[in-house]
């Protein structure tokens, strides 16, 4: 059940920001997408999620064409995004935010999934009836991840998880993502901390001005002189 982006071009209005982008996420794989600010990384996640207009090429998951589907149908297909900035409902409780993640479901297992998510993220059980807007940044990011899990994703798209968080909190979140991945969920992550992303991922793509310019095993890209000079300051 691979997620495949094939020769995708996309943009906003008359402005194109992605050109002929191709990448894939295999089942149970962790893939990093790195690049400078403005390279189009978040736009690519938005295009996969149905939030940014696709002008050419397409997106497939598990053989299903997602290219023209609305965002809710893409979520139901198993591709779910954890957005940059968390985008929680600050005036709702943690419990209510998590239930919003299951809005597209019509099965009877939501309560059981809530229990599983709280077992994975016990801090949220302690904050269950707190307003999301009053949580710390790290706790809010946990809620954003948990909300996505409530949609039963097969692939998680994670946009700038570490933004604004202390390194110790980022390490805790990466451990959570590792457990999610170990359960068989594929991960495509956009991450500003390039070294952390490449150390965590199995494969990676470099996006520059809307085009993929480099790809390969994450460990190999970490040792690539061009990557080191452009993104690691070496």
Closest C-alpha among 69, 63, 51, 70 to residue 6: 63
Q: What is the mean pLDDT of residues 6-11?
A: 97
For the chain, how long is the longest CA-to-CA vector? 52
**pLDDT at position 1 over 80:** no
pLDDT tens string 188-227 = 999 989 999 999 999 999 999 999 999 999 999 999 999 9
| Lowest pLDDT segment from 13-27, 62-76, 97-111 | 97-111
- Check residue 101 and give its pLDDT: 92
Q: Is residue 61 within 8 Å of 77, Cβ to Cβ?
A: yes
- Could you tell me how many residues make up the chain? 234
* pLDDT confidence band for 89 (50 / 70 / 90): confident
- Check residue 232 and give its pLDDT: 83
Sorted by where each starts, the structural domains of the chain and their CATH numbers stand as 3-88+137-232 (3.40.50.300)
Q: What is the mean pLDDT of residues 7-15?
A: 95
**pLDDT at position 104 over 80:** no
Q: Is residue 37 within 8 Å of 29, Cβ to Cβ?
A: no
pLDDT tens string 29-62 = 999 999 999 999 999 999 999 999 999 999 999 9
Please enumerate, as own/partner, the contacts of 70-75 that have beta carbons within 8 Å and a separation of 24 or more: 72/104, 74/48, 74/49, 74/50, 75/104, 75/151
Q: What is the mean pLDDT of residues 87-115?
A: 90
- Check residue 185 and give its pLDDT: 97
pLDDT tens string 106-154 = 788 899 999 999 999 999 999 999 999 999 999 999 999 999 999 999 9
Instruction: List the structure tokens of 124.
Output: 């949220």
**pLDDT at position 24 over 90:** yes
**pLDDT at position 16 over 80:** yes
- Check residue 137 and give its pLDDT: 92
Helices within the chain (DSSP H only): 41-48, 71-77, 94-100, 110-120, 122-126, 137-149, 167-182, 194-200, 218-222, 225-227
């Amino acid at each position: 059940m691979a997620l495949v982006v094939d020769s995708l071009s996309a943009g906003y209005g008359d402005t194109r920001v992605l050109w002929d982008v191709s990448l894939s996420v295999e089942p149970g794989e962790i893939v990093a997408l790195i690049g400078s600010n403005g390279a189009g990384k978040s736009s690519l996640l938005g295009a996969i999620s149905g939030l940014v207009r696709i002008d050419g090429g397409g997106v497939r998951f598990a053989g299903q064409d997602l290219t023209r589907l609305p965002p809710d149908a893409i979520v139901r297909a198993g591709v779910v995004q954890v957005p940059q900035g968390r985008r929680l409902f600050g005036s709702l409780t943690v419990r209510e935010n998590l239930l919003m993640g299951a809005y597209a479901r019509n099965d009877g297992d939501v309560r059981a999934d809530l229990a599983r998510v709280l077992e994975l993220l016990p801090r949220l059980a302690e904050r269950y009836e707190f307003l999301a807007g009053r949580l710390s940044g790290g706790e809010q990011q946990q809620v954003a991840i948990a909300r996505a899990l409530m949609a039963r994703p097969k692939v998680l798209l994670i946009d700038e998880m570490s933004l604004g968080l202390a390194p110790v909190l980022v390490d805790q979140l990466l451990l959570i993502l590792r457990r999610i991945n170990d359960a068989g969920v594929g991960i495509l992550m956009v991450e500003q901390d390039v070294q952390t992303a490449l150390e965590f991922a199995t494969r990676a793509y470099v996006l520059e001005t809307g085009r993929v310019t480099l790809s390969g095993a994450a460990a190999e890209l970490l040792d690539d002189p061009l990557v080191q000079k452009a993104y690691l300051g070496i």
